[in-house]
Amino acid sequence: MDSSKLTSFIPYLEAKQKARETRSAYAPAKGGTALSILEALACAPNGAMKLGELQPASGMNFLEFFEAVKRLIDLGHITVTGEPGGEIAQLSKLGAEVADLARPA
């Protein structure tokens, strides 16, 4: 390989990496899962958070979030209480244990 091409490609890769890091630092998370919800609740004070705050923290779109919350309720990992528009999700003991197991070692 021609070394002049290699040396001109390295700055390009470095700039590309820097742009990716800057973008990811300010972009919302994407591709969240039900475990993302449990993790967010595990980090919240008293293991509780308003659904309106939890959804963006999960990195999920509204439909994915709704389906994941329903599954987590059905499995006994969380409870949701409160009036519409002000519902609060609360991590159950089982949900806290699952969130703890899912954390990287």
pLDDT tens by residue, 37-83: 999 999 999 999 999 999 999 999 999 999 999 999 999 999 999 99
Domain residue spans in the chain?
34-102
Mean pLDDT computed over 81-93? 93
**How high is the pLDDT of residue 29?**
45
Instruction: Return the residue matching tokens 């059905």.
Output: 74
In 27-61, which residue ranges form alpha helices assigned H by DSSP? Answer: 34-43, 51-58
pLDDT exceeds 70 at position 94: yes
Sheet containing strand 48-50, strands side by side? 48-50, 88-91, 78-81
Q: How far apart are CA 15 and CA 27, in angstroms?
A: 18
Q: How far apart are CA 78 and CA 32, in angstroms?
A: 17
pLDDT exceeds 50 at position 28: no
Q: Which pTM does this prediction carry?
A: 0.68
**How high is the pLDDT of residue 53?**
94
The correct answer on CATH 2.40.110.10 for the domain covering 34-102 is no
